[in-house]
Structure 1
Amino acid sequence: MTTARQGTSRQGTSRQGTFVNAVQLVTAREIQARLRSNAFIVSAAILILAVVASIVVAGIVGKATADDTTPVAVVDGVSLTSTRGLDVTQTSSVAQAERLVRSGDVDAAVVPSDDTLGYRVVGLDDVPTDVVSALSTTPRVDLLDPGALPAGLVSLIGIMFGVVFFASAVTFGSSIAQSVVEEKSTRVVEILMAAIPARALLAGKVLGNSLMAFAQIVAVAVAAAITLAVTGQDNMFSMLGPSVLWFVGFFAIGFVLIAAMFAASAVLVSRQEDVGSVTMPVMMLVMIPYILIVSAADNPTIVGIMSYVPFSAPIGMPMRIFLGTAQWWEPILSLLIVAVSVVVVVLVGARIYENALLRTGGRVKLAEALRG
């Protein structure tokens, strides 16, 4: 009896070791295939250059804007010794001047004050340094909405997160789908199945492409950090740091879900011409967060919902962290939701992949692949 148990244990350990070795081999093959692909190298380089260029352009535009005259409202009765660099709009009351600040017609307002200087500066969401530096002396500064961020900056950061997520997910997801169908159409999969289990083949594909996608995201983050430091945008670097780190973490887990769905959908067909039709639902799930973040990055309700939906959490939650609207526990809860969703999708996807991998010819119905 003891000998039989020992033999069974050794067989289980041997099968487990064989499975792990198979996954490692497929993972290495997928990584090598991506590194040998000129299309992958070019697309990764374009993505990194696009992010770097956007940061450089934003810095140049910001400096150019600082060189222009600054619109400012001045209440009647306030005497300024110098208005150089200011585009002055006279107002009859403090309330009128503050309305101009809130509407965005002027960057700041100079209103009467009881202190020795005789006036103070009113800003909206940030200290109007251009106005303060243009005055001969430094007045007291009051902010009407100190916690707010400029809408243009919020939209720009949202678009950057969306573009990086969308480009990486589509690039590697499409590569997985094409690889699966190519192996089926050329009957290579039959040779592979004779040597390794179907689940090991799927795990290796997902793991290899996930590692490459993660490496690309890290490269983009490092390039962005270096560019911000070189261009002197230290304040933006400190503001973006936590949200970028969370974005990388969310993407590392969330892409596994997307990769499994691309593989499970592509295995239903045997021709490259049919890949687009079966992967379209997955493509839409990747596109929807991108569209939402581009069109409504400054909408707290939409961003809040996105931060808990597994397909959009890698964009939504980092945006909320950047805006400072997320409690300390919310990113952890959202990440747990994404992780649980990954487990469920991988298990279902593995069943579909295993049942449909050797079926060639026409398109395999999803219900049949689930039933096996």
Structure 2
Amino acid sequence: MSATTASAPADGGHANHRGRTGFWQATGIVAQREILIRVRSKSFIISTAIMLALILAGVLFSSVGPQLFDEDTTVATIAALAPALQGLDGVVVDTLGSADAVRQAVQSGAASAGVLQGTGASGLLVIGDRETPSAIVQMLSVTPEVELLDPNAPDPLLTYFIGIAFGIVFFSSAITFGQTIAQSVVEEKQSRIVEIMLAAIPARAILAGKVIGNSVLAFGQILMIAAVVLLGGAITGSQLLLDGLGMPIVWFVVLFTVGFVMLASLYAAAAALVSRAEDLGTATSPLMMLVMLPYIAVIIFNNNPVALQIMSYVPFSAPVAVPMRVYLQSQEWWEPYLSLAILIAFTVAVIAFAARIYERSLLKTGSMVKWRDALKQ
């Protein structure tokens, strides 16, 4: 089916004719409508509450959880070896009279492991029932002394999980609110309500209102997530959350806010290209890949300074890469500001591009309009 175009205002929606609302007033009306629709939705309220509760529970559990499950390990041994085991943390020594008694205790489950005299280089024999008691083996192994020249260096495993956390928050929030904007555009276009709206307000005001309204919601949700994380840190007394992640979270909120405006504009433009909800997935799939890029890249390169530096100057990955570099303290003081400036400049260009696509495709019905065709008109 070929695309058809409904009649549109000759001025492209910029003029303020009699009976038409001014641009900023119209933008405020659309933004208010977008916000009210979402905050009055029970599903939005419930899903947000559940998400915040899970995040708070995760923060609390990460601090007190290991203590809840940290149980002492019972190790059976003979009297001659008992003094060597009694100094091990988390080990309860059960001294028995013979090697056979030790083996019987392990086999019956009365002891998690057994230690006897062995013939190897260590002089010890560790006994397990169905699997190797690796914790005891590690405790009894001889390890070299280690000296770290930088005692404040971040834990690689912790860095990995922090990178995943930033990536997930960016990915989930951008996808959730981006799809909300796209569905709203398609629904209004499919029901032809947009034609009535265009008779009263400019097309760009509709776009700006949708972007601003959903950006406010996304920004508010990110602020609540940050507040919950810091609250959990205050409850548990975690210095990592109170000090180590304070500035990274601030930079994430700032960069996410700008980056989301960019993505929201693209989602609205992509949705304007289609007339049916069934085609929305095809139109927004390239944007999905752009949103997934930071999530995947930060998992792969979370501890690679060069890769993170490059990602911090790429607009689509900067909201995740910059906070990671701030946490790792691997950047100069001015680099986050340069990344923010690049992101703002790129966002302005994207908004102009998306506005042109949106304005030229909003009244087109029928088959999906290609990005290239929308720009040529």
Superposition misfits of 4+ residues, deviation over 6 angstroms? 11-17, 65-69, 108-111
Summarize the alignment of residues 36-55 of structure 1 with structure 2, pairs less than 5 Å apart: 36-55=40-59
2:63 alignment counterpart: 59
Q: Is 2:163 aligned against 1:165?
A: no
Aligned residue among 346, 350, 372 for 2:351: 346
Q: C-alpha displacement at 1:18, in angstroms? A: 1.0
Q: C-alpha displacement at 1:286, in angstroms? A: 0.4
Q: C-alpha displacement at 1:256, in angstroms? A: 0.2
Aligned residue among 11, 19, 24 for 2:23: 19
**Contact persistence 2:19–2:200 (CA under 8 A):** no
Greater share of helix residues, 1 or 2?
A: 1
Deviations 1:284-343 (A, max 9, x none): 100111112233322223222221110111100001101111110000000001001100
Separation (CA, whole Å) in 1 of partners of 2:263 and 2:224: 20
Supply the AA of the counterpart residue of 2:343: V
Deviations 1:181-222 (A, max 9, x none): 001100000000000000000000000000000000000000
CA RMSD of aligned residues (A): 3.1
Supply the AA of the counterpart residue of 1:225: L
C-alpha distance 193-329 of structure 1, shift in aligned 2 (>3 A): same
C-alpha distance 109-346 of structure 1, shift in aligned 2 (>3 A): farther
Separation (CA, whole Å) in 1 of partners of 2:329 and 2:160: 15
Q: What TM-score comes out, normalization by structure 1 length?
A: 0.76
Q: Is 2:198 aligned against 1:193?
A: yes
**Contact persistence 2:16–2:22 (CA under 8 A):** no
Aligned residue among 243, 246, 254 for 2:248: 243
Summarize the alignment of residues 173-188 of structure 1 with structure 2, pairs less than 5 Å apart: 173-188=178-193
1:329 alignment counterpart: 334
> Of the two, which has the highest radius of gyration?
2
Separation (CA, whole Å) in 1 of partners of 2:146 and 2:166: 29
Q: C-alpha displacement at 1:49, in angstroms? A: 2.5
2:81 alignment counterpart: none
Q: Per the alignment, in what secondary structure is the counterpart of residue 22 of structure 2?
A: helix
Q: C-alpha displacement at 1:237, in angstroms? A: 1.5
Q: Per the alignment, in what secondary structure is the counterpart of residue 366 of structure 2?
A: coil
Summarize the alignment of residues 270-349 of structure 1 with structure 2, pairs less than 5 Å apart: 270-349=275-354
**Contact persistence 1:123–1:144 (CA under 8 A):** no
Which ranges in structure 2 are unaligned for 5 or more consecutive residues? 1-14, 74-83, 92-120, 123-137
2:239 alignment counterpart: 234
Q: C-alpha displacement at 1:40, in angstroms? A: 2.1
**Contact persistence 1:185–1:271 (CA under 8 A):** yes
Separation (CA, whole Å) in 1 of partners of 2:62 and 2:17: 56
Separation (CA, whole Å) in 2 of partners of 1:66 and 1:214: 38
Supply the AA of the counterpart residue of 2:290: L
Q: What TM-score comes out, normalization by structure 2 length?
A: 0.75
Separation (CA, whole Å) in 2 of partners of 1:187 and 1:83: 77
C-alpha distance 309-109 of structure 1, shift in aligned 2 (>3 A): farther
Separation (CA, whole Å) in 2 of partners of 1:85 and 1:325: 36
1:28 alignment counterpart: 32
Q: Is 2:221 aligned against 1:216?
A: yes
